[in-house]
């Protein structure tokens, strides 16, 4: 596929990162389907998106560093931005859900509105 | 309110942040040229001025090494948390024990609290849902609470909040 020959060790490493990234993202998506209510569903994507995309980007970073001779730093920045923004968006969604009193599953303990 | 100082504080509120933005831009476009440097400097000038009103009181990092330690602990915990959530995803979700927990804060600095709530969302089984500045508490949602409330609070205090307190003094 490529003109530049990549050492097999690096090729393996890239493949592992890509596969792990895809697997983690898949599990996150699965969590979105399987968890019972809005609040529990928040947990899967906040964690999986950061590590899943992070692994994929690590693979991409190694690949392009080998191909183009020179470290590509963009991937690190994308990962960093994700780490900073994912918890903020999760926080805002949870806040909005609380404000609208979106129902939690019955067995949830200590719901904030049960005390009122 | 002395003229010259407030002028600088108005147009260049965070000089270091401006430089950081310029460098960040260069890293993003991945090439150093005069045009890119000019765009980076323009961004470094406009963004701090435009967002001035949103900045909290200036937080000061007291020590450097606790910060490095914190980042390493955080990266490790993010990896672990993915395994925890993955396992819970694949198990029977009927057995989950979700719960809300009210977390009392010891931190005072707004910036440190922001970092703590972000950390809580990225680490195993907890998402921060609401910050109450009056009672100084965070409302957390715990995905699967096997122990009691005090255990969850104690773990966060011990692992993250203590380190943040060292960092911000």
Question: How far off is chain B from A5, nearest CA to CA, in Å?
Answer: 24
A contact residues 73-102, partner B, Cβ 8 Å cutoff: 73-74, 77, 83-84, 86-88, 90-91, 94-95, 97-98
Judge whether A106 lies within some domain: no
Written as six digits, the tokens of B120 are 């809580």
Instruction: Label residue B1 by pLDDT band (50, 70, 90).
Output: very low
Judge whether A28 lies within some domain: yes
Question: How far off is chain A from B115, nearest CA to CA, in Å?
Answer: 9
- The predicted pLDDT at position B58 comes to 62
ipTM above 0.90, yes or no: no
Read off the pLDDT of residues B87-143 as tens digits, 9 standing for 90 and up. Answer: 888 887 777 788 888 888 888 888 888 888 888 888 777 888 888 888 888 888 888
**A106 — contact with chain B (CB < 8 Å)?**
no
B contact residues 67-106, partner A, Cβ 8 Å cutoff: 78-79, 81-82, 85-86, 88-90, 93, 96-102
Mean pLDDT computed over A74-78: 81
Judge whether A66 lies within some domain: yes
Q: Rounded to whole angstroms, how far apart are CA atoms B157 and A29?
A: 30
Read off the pLDDT of residues A12-70 as tens digits, 9 standing for 90 and up. Answer: 999 999 999 999 888 888 888 888 888 888 887 777 778 888 888 888 888 888 887 66
Chain-chain contact of A39 with B82 (C-beta, under 8 angstroms): no
Q: What is the DSSP string of A24-44?
A: HHHHHHHHHHHSSSHHHHHHH
Asked whether the beta carbons of B85 and A95 are under 8 A apart, the reply is: no
Judge whether A59 lies within some domain: yes
Handedness of CA B30, B32, B35, B36 (dihedral sign): positive
Residue B91, phi-psi category: left (phi > 0), alpha (psi -120 to 50), beta (remainder): beta
Range of the domain at A68: 8-99
Question: How far off is chain B from A67, nearest CA to CA, in Å?
Answer: 15
Judge whether A87 lies within some domain: yes
Q: Based on the structure, what is the number of domains in chain A?
A: 1
- The predicted pLDDT at position A8 comes to 85
Written as six digits, the tokens of B58 are 């200036």
Domain ranges, ordered by start, for chain B: 2-54, 65-168
**A36 — contact with chain B (CB < 8 Å)?**
yes
Instruction: Label residue A113 by pLDDT band (50, 70, 90).
Output: low
Count of CB contacts below 8 A, A vs B? 121
Q: Rounded to whole angstroms, how far apart are CA atoms A28 and A46?
A: 8
pTM value is 0.77
């Amino acid at each position: 596929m490529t003109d530049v020959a990549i050492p097999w060790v690096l090729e393996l490493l890239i493949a592992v990162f890509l596969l792990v990234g895809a697997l983690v993202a898949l599990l996150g998506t699965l969590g979105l389907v399987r968890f019972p209510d809005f609040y529990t569903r928040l947990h899967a994507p906040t964690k999986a998106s950061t590590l899943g995309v992070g692994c994929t980007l690590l693979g991409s970073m190694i690949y392009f560093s080998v191909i183009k001779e020179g470290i590509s730093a963009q991937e690190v920045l994308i990962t960093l931005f994700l780490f900073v923004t994912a918890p903020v968006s999760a926080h805002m969604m949870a806040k909005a859900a609380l404000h609208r009193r979106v129902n939690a599953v019955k067995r949830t303990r200590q719901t904030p509105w049960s005390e009122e | 309110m002395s003229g010259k100082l407030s002028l600088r504080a108005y147009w260049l509120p965070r000089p270091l942040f401006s430089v950081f933005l310029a460098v960040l831009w260069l890293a993003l476009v991945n090439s150093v040229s005069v045009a890119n440097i000019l765009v980076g400097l323009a961004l470094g000038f406009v963004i701090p001025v435009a967002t001035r009103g949103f900045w909290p009181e200036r937080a000061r990092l007291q020590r450097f090494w606790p910060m490095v330690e914190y980042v390493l602990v955080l990266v490790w915990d993010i990896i672990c948390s993915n395994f925890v959530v993955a396992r819970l995803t694949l198990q029977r979700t009927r057995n989950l024990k979700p719960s809300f927990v009210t977390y009392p804060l010891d931190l005072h600095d707004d910036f440190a609290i922001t970092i703590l709530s972000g950390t809580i969302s990225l680490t195993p089984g907890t998402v921060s849902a609401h910050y109450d500045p009056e009672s100084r508490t965070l409302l957390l949602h715990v995905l699967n609470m096997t122990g009691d409330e005090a255990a969850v609070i104690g773990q966060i205090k011990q692992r993250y909040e203590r380190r943040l307190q060292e960092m911000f003094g």
